[in-house]
Amino acid sequence: MKLSEQDLQCGPIERLLLRHRTTAMRQWDTQTPGVDPELINWFGGQGGRLLGLDLASFDPERSKALLAHHAAVDAGIVMLEGLDLSQAPEGVAQLAALPVPWHGADAAPVRAVLGYAN
């Protein structure tokens, strides 16, 4: 995807959604590749605050070290996993991701909605 000059006028990219799939995830994928922790470190170093993806996890299914999760937490990046981005067009959009408040939890499901200006 190439961002236009108008897209870049909004300033640095603080929130980024990454699409890996072309269809919605219907079940746990044991072949989930995860996200390279170096990408997360780079994104956080650029001022990134939220990273969302359509994979079930930021880390591969068999990961015990959870390096991508730890990189995101260390960089202060909010993680959104398991998004359905199959119908989301490329480009700039508005994201609302409202979490369900669970007391004592460090994670929660969200209702994520993308809005696009025409």
- CA 113 remoteness from chain centre: 13
Strand partners, 98: 111
CA distance 80 to 108: 10
> Which tens digits make up the pLDDT trace of 81-113?
989 998 888 888 889 999 888 888 888 889 999
DSSP 9-48: TT-S--EEEE---SS---S--TT-----HHHHHHHHHTT-
Which residue numbers in the chain have pLDDT < 50? Answer: 1
Sequence-separated (6 or more) residues with CB below 8 Å from residue 25: 54, 55, 56, 82, 84
Domains and CATH numbers, the chain: 5-88 (3.50.30.50)
Q: In this predicted structure, what is the pLDDT of residue 13?
A: 85
Kind of pairing between the strands at 78-80 and 94-99: unpaired
Q: What is the pTM of this model?
A: 0.81
